Amino acid sequence: MNTTTSPTAPAPQPAAGAGPTATEVTGPPDALRPAVAVFTTLDTPDGPFSLLATADGVLASGWTADRAALAGLVHPGLRPGEDAVAVLPASDLRLRADRHPDPPSGPAPAAVDAVAVAAAAAAAVHAYYAGDLAAPGRIPVRQHSGRFRVQAWDTLRGVGPGERLTYAAYAARSGRPTAVRAAAAACALNAAALFVPCHRILRTDGTLGGFRYGLELKQRLLGREAGRPENMLF
């Protein structure tokens, strides 16, 4: 699915190979609501990691096993109904990914269903923890918001493993240098953790700032990406 932005304010480009991030629409958001979604929870070195995906990409993800809490992060116009969500064990998705190992590098075609996207996303999480830190950035993501937040989420996808930006630098890279609070809000409202790496944004003084899943986890992620022991990040 292509990212849609204002023709007068083009969004910054994501990193090469990154899947699309978000959509901005002018019609009723409910028209975007998916008919089918897949939820799964993976075991990772940092604890349970869950994701909610459709045929178009990851809607939400993070270090939790709470399906309701994760679904609550999705924009109401994109949030699938309870009866539209299939809960699949991670082992089933791993078998699917083993048979089709290449995750989509762009918008998932209509023929690719939510199971295939969820399997590719789960495989990317496993790959991240195995050392392919760029793997989550190759998975399409679907979020809905206004123009600047869409641009800010696209910008996040261009912040690569090992790179860190301050909130001020993040706002500038997103096209609005004075919108530091709005940039921080984009991080706070990002539903697709890891796939949209808001953990790579820090306060201006270099301290960690906030993170939905806790500062200890944020430090471990940054330490892993920097190739340093987690207790030697700073």
The per-residue pLDDT for range 108-140, each reduced to its tens digit, is 443 358 888 999 999 999 999 999 999 999 999
Active site includes 198?
yes
143-190 tens-digit pLDDT: 999 889 999 999 999 999 999 999 999 999 999 999 999 999 999 999
- Angle formed at CA 110 by CA 109 and CA 116, multiple of 5 degrees: 75
* Domain 147-228 CATH (choose: 3.50.50.60, 1.10.3720.10, 3.20.190.10, 1.10.10.10): 1.10.10.10
Strands 37-44, 57-62: pairing is unpaired
pLDDT per residue over 29-88, tens digit each? 555 677 789 999 999 999 999 999 998 999 999 999 999 999 999 999 999 988 889 899
Of 21-25, 94-98, 116-120, 154-158, minimum mean pLDDT range: 21-25
Q: How far apart are CA 47 and CA 45, in angstroms?
A: 6
Which candidate, 20, 24, 21, 19, places its Cα nearest to that of 5? 24
Q: How far apart are CA 117 and CA 58, in angstroms?
A: 8
Distance between start and end Cα atoms, the chain: 38
Quick check: 121 and 103 in contact, CB under 8 A?
yes
Query: 97, 198, 221, 222: which one is catalytic?
Result: 198
Angle at 75 between CA 93 and CA 210, to 5 degrees: 85
> Regarding beta strands 85-87 and 57-62, do their DSSP bridges make them parallel or antiparallel, or are they unpaired?
unpaired
In the chain, where are the structural domains located?
29-138, 147-228
Please tell me the predicted confidence (pLDDT) of residue 33. 72
Distance in angstroms (rounded) separating the CA atoms of residues 91 and 229: 30
For 17: left if phi > 0, alpha if psi spans -120 to 50, otherwise beta; the answer is left
